[in-house]
Structure 1
Amino acid sequence: MRQLLWWLIGGSRGGKNRLRIVRTLQARPMNTNQLSNELALNYKTVQHHLEVLEENDVVTTRGDNYGKMYFLTDRMRENLDILEEIADQADIEVESDDA
């Protein structure tokens, strides 16, 4: 999981936004539109990052179409400490009021 998170978060241009998405989903599940509004990001940008995170078993979904809700996977929840470690090591700063 460490290598995967380095690739997704620490080693890519979209890492900061993916980190913001994961941290936001820690608090509660959301759909793409809610995440877009919460993080002040373009809907298509959020959609892209969610697809990448879902393909890599970081998030999972319930429901379909517009109402599809995103949740952190159990695997991701078990490795949140690694996520924070990588964010620190990669020097990715995300303020809580960044949105």
Structure 2
Amino acid sequence: MEKALWYLFAGSRGGANRVRIVKELADQPRNANELADELDLNYNTIDHHLDMLEEHNVVEPSDHDYGKLYFLTDQFEQHSDTFETISEKVS
């Protein structure tokens, strides 16, 4: 998981926006539209980043298709210290 976090947040383009998304989701679950509004990013950009984060088991969606909420996974939460270290370097 730690390698995936370094890749997602520090080793690939868009890492800074993914850090911002994760920080928003740490405060409370949100859907893609809410994230786009809160972070002042295009919906398609948010959707792309959420897909990547889901693929690497950082976020998981609710069961609803319309307005689906995203949550941080338990696996990610276990590596929150690594995330904090990475996010300090990216910010």
TM-score interval, normalised by the smaller of the two chains: over 0.9
Return the alpha-carbon distance in structure 2 between the equivalents of residues 26 and 87 of structure 1.
13
**TM-score (normalised: structure 1):** 0.87
Which residue of structure 1 aligns with residue 62 of structure 2? 62
Which residue of structure 2 aligns with residue 92 of structure 1? 90
The answer for unaligned runs of 5 or more in structure 2 is none
Return the alpha-carbon distance in structure 1 between the equivalents of residues 65 and 74 of structure 2.
23
Which residue of structure 2 aligns with residue 3 of structure 1? 3
- Cα drift, residue 44 of structure 1: 0.2
The residue type paired with residue 90 of structure 2 is I
Which residue of structure 1 aligns with residue 26 of structure 2? 26
Deviations 1:26-64 (A, max 9, x none): 000000000000100000000000001001100001133
- Equivalences, count: 91
**TM-score (normalised: structure 2):** 0.94
- In angstroms, what is the RMSD of aligned CA positions? 0.9
**Does the aligned pair in 2 maintain the 1:60–1:72 contact within 8 Å?**
yes
- Cα drift, residue 78 of structure 1: 1.4
Superposition pairs of residues 41-60 of structure 1, within 5 angstroms: 41-60=41-60
**1:83 maps to 2:59:** no
Which residue of structure 1 aligns with residue 40 of structure 2? 40
Return the alpha-carbon distance in structure 1 between the equivalents of residues 66 and 33 of structure 2.
8
Q: Segments of 4+ in structure 1 off by > 3 A? A: none
